[in-house]
């Protein structure tokens, strides 16, 4: 029997082209994802993907069936939304927030949703931009804050909002806390960056900016902000962050002259679904919530 989970696995694999990444998008581990794909291929009687080293690609049959799978998921999402409207607790708005978003900013956006739609339950998901975008495009999320730039196929977007950033630098390098620094001054240690796969276009822009200013310290890839902060506290990295509350002993906070590395954000939503859940006159309020927190 074909299920919604089968369709989710199919679409996630087609978009991520990687079993591990697709499993994270669907919210399961890799073994059940592989089992689900085998069952789906048995149900449709066709091979949907070619497996290669480290990635998968659609077969001709998979490419032909993918639009139908997306439409089916969209219809299921509309069904779930209609059903939630019958819930005594009221309808639900599923909000996705990129993992780099400072907690206070994410809270401001969620609060703005709650204030604008007082009878709607707001459910929040935090994930990398690359995982949020396919969920938004399929309608599994109805609203999101993602890194800019990003490929927004099937999505509408508000204006780009810039959140200023500061550099957390070991005091052994720059003992005068709070003194503004130029980007080229941050050349003694690598700058911590998240994996490129989490937001390829945004990460490339970040790295291109670093190269333009010719820092010599390079970069070091970290799994999350906690790891970045720990490396900085150990004197092994510099953290560029938009979060004013992020701090640790032995680190000084320095504004970077001309703010060359702001966190670029956009509010995005599926073209065909969000207007029925989130009226157009609410969207400017949410964009304002991002701007106020910046």
The confidence score (pLDDT) of residue 251 equals 96
Same domain assignment for residues 242 and 189? yes
* DSSP per-residue codes, 182-209: -GGG--SSPEEE--GGGSHHHHHHHHHH
114: domain CATH number is: 3.40.190.10
Q: Cβ neighbours of residue 155 under 8 Å, at least 6 residues apart?
A: 133, 136, 137, 268, 269, 270, 271
User: 119 and 173 share a domain?
Assistant: no
**Could you tell me the residue range of the domain that residue 138 belongs to?**
90-161+264-293
pLDDT, tens digit (0-9, with 9 covering 90-100), for 223-267: 999 999 999 999 999 999 999 999 999 999 999 999 999 999 999
By the 8 A CB rule, do 141 and 266 touch? no
**Cβ count near 68 (within 10 Å):** 11
pLDDT < 70 stretches in the chain: 80-90, 214-215, 272-285, 287-288, 290-294
What is this structure's pTM? 0.71
Question: Around Cβ 101, how many Cβ atoms within 10 Å?
Answer: 24
What pLDDT digit, counting tens, does each position of 74-115 carry? 787 777 666 655 655 567 888 999 999 999 889 988 988 888
What the block records as the tokens of 77 is 């999402």
29 and 169 within one domain? no
Instruction: Write down the pLDDT at residue 258.
Output: 92
235 and 198, same domain (yes or no): yes
For residue 285, the model assigns a pLDDT of: 67
CATH classification at residue 46 = 1.10.10.10
Give yes or no: residues 148 and 210 share one domain.
no
Please say which residue of 64, 82, 100 terminates a domain.
82
196 in the same domain as 70: no
Q: What is the pLDDT of residue 212?
A: 87
The answer to whether residues 193 and 142 belong to one domain is: no
Q: What total of structural domains would you count in the chain?
A: 3
Q: Look at residues 57, 82, 107 and tell me which one is the last residue of a structural domain.
A: 82
DSSP 24-63: HHHTS-HHHHHHHHHHHHHHHTS--EEEETTEEEE-HHHH
pLDDT at residue 84 in the model: 58
**The pLDDT value given to residue 88:** 55
């Amino acid at each position: 029997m074909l299920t919604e989970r089968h369709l989710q696995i199919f679409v996630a694999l087609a978009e991520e082209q990687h079993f591990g990444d697709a499993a994270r998008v669907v919210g399961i581990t890799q073994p059940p994802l592989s089992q689900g794909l085998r069952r789906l291929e048995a149900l449709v009687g066709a091979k949907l993907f070619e497996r290669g080293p480290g990635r998968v690609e659609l077969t001709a049959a998979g490419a032909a069936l993918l639009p139908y799978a997306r439409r089916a998921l969209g219809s299921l999402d509309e069904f779930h939304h209609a059903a939630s409207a019958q819930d005594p607790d009221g309808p639900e708005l599923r909000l996705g927030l990129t993992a780099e978003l400072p907690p206070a900013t994410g809270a401001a956006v969620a609060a703005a949703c709650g204030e604008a739609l007082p009878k709607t339950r707001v459910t929040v998901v935090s994930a990398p931009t690359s995982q949020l975008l396919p969920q938004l495009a399929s309608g599994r999320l109805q609203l999101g804050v993602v890194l800019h730039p990003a490929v927004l196929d099937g999505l509408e977007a508000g204006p780009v909002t810039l959140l200023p950033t500061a550099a957390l630098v070991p005091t052994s390098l720059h003992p005068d806390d709070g003194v503004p620094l130029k980007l080229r001054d941050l050349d003694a240690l690598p700058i911590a960056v998240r994996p490129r796969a989490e937001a390829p276009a945004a990460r490339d822009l970040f790295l291109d900016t670093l190269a333009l200013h010719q820092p010599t310290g390079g970069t070091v890839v970290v799994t999350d902000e906690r790891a970045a902060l720990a490396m900085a506290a150990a004197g092994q990295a510099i953290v560029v962050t938009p979060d004013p509350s992020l701090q640790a002993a032995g680190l000084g906070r320095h504004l970077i002259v001309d703010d060359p590395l702001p966190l670029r954000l956009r509010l995005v939503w599926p073209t065909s679904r969000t207007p029925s859940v989130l009226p157009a006159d609410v969207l400017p309020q949410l964009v304002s919530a991002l701007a106020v927190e910046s």
